[in-house]
Amino acid sequence: MTSLTRKRRKAAARRIWSQFRSSKQGMAGLVILLVFASLALAAPLIVDQSALNPVVARAEGNPQWASPGEFAPLGTDHLRRSVWAQFVWGSRVSLFVGVAATAVTMAIGATIGIIAGFRGGRVDALLMRFTEWFLVIPFLPLAIVLASILGRSMWNIILVIGISSWPWMARLIRSQVLTVKQRLFVDRSRSLGASNRHIIARHILPNVSGLILANATLAIPISILAETSLSFLGLGNPRNPSWGKTLEEAFTSGAMTRNAWWYFVPAGVGILIVVLAFTMIGRTLEEIADPKLGGRR
């Protein structure tokens, strides 16, 4: 029994992969993402983290505000630190926060969505009222307020983005669960004496997971952009700078009036490319999960 389902799952995964491979957009996104993911993972091998420390940078005798021509590869900032080192280490934080915050969003959204959709009735009504109420609270202001209350740290930012962005995920998953619940195999399974837990784990979840995955991929860019804005507004952790934090420091140190483009261009380009890559992958997955969307996008 289990080996049969495993075989079927494997076949489904292979089918999705072959569909994915035929999409130029999706593959381009995946390749870009792999490049940045390896950059983030290999950060300690590329530049030592001490390069982010202004004291070390000064001791090394780095020049201040050096252009890329004077200090390879991306110049230095007002504290003599290498911009390249900040870019490499920033990719780590930005990507990690984006993925982790989305994981929090998914966890809350999926739990509430599945319970509401599966239970129905009064539980559903109550949970959806709660969700709708959260849905109308503007995302960024809520995140800002929560982050300034909780204090500056990377984990708080992850938590805050997750808390502020779960409602639409819950609604989406609920509506999916509602349609899957009507399908015949759920009734069959129940008539064979399956428990709710079994039905949710074995029948509902596998059937909504494609859509969840596609939407999670599309939610990551939103999380990354939210992290960037929060960090730019001074809510990021200065010890562990993300790309958004680099942009904030470039802004406050006056890099713009000096026209020190090497300080604020790389981080922004990094964000743009990573966000685009995730969007391209997410759209491709969405088209696979819901072929009706087809060419409309």
Partner 1 sequence: MVCFNFFLFRIVQTDPLAHMFRGRNIPRELQENLRAAFGLDQPLFTQFLYYLRETFTLNLGVSYHSRQPVWSEIMARLPATLALLGSSALLAGIFGTMGGIVAAWRRNTWKDRFITSGTMVFYSLPDFWLGMLLLVGFSVVLGWLPIGGMGTIGVTLTGLPAVLDYLKHLTLPAMTLTIAYLGEYALVTRSSLLEVMSEDYLTVARAKGLRDRVVRNRHALPNALLPVVTLAALNLGFILSGAIAVEAVFSWPGLGQATAQAIRGPDFPMLQGLFLLFSASVILFNLFADVLYLYLDPRVEEV
Residues that bind partner 1 in the complex, under the rule CB under 8 A: 136-138, 140-142, 144-146, 148-150, 221, 225, 228-229, 232-235, 244, 247, 250-251, 256-257, 259, 261, 264-265, 268, 271-272, 275-276, 279, 296-297
In whole angstroms, the minimum distance from the beta carbon of 15 to partner 1 comes to 27
Quick one: 117 or 244, whose CB is closer to partner 1? 244
In whole angstroms, the minimum distance from the beta carbon of 102 to partner 1 comes to 16
In whole angstroms, the minimum distance from the beta carbon of 259 to partner 1 comes to 5
C-alpha 32/C-alpha 197 separation (Å) is 39
Residue type at 279?
A: T
Quick one: 206 or 268, whose CB is closer to partner 1? 268
Collapsed DSSP state (helix, strand, coil) of residue 76: strand
Quick one: 26 or 186, whose CB is closer to partner 1? 26
In whole angstroms, the minimum distance from the beta carbon of 135 to partner 1 comes to 9
Quick one: 183 or 258, whose CB is closer to partner 1? 258
Q: Of 188, 190, 182, which is closest to residue 207 (Cα–Cα)? A: 182
DSSP result, 179-195:
HHHTSHHHHHHHHTT--
CB atoms within 10 A of CB 196: 11
Q: Of 238, 233, 249, which is closest to residue 76 (Cα–Cα)? A: 249
Quick one: 168 or 200, whose CB is closer to partner 1? 168
In the block, which residue shows the tokens 């494997």? Answer: 10
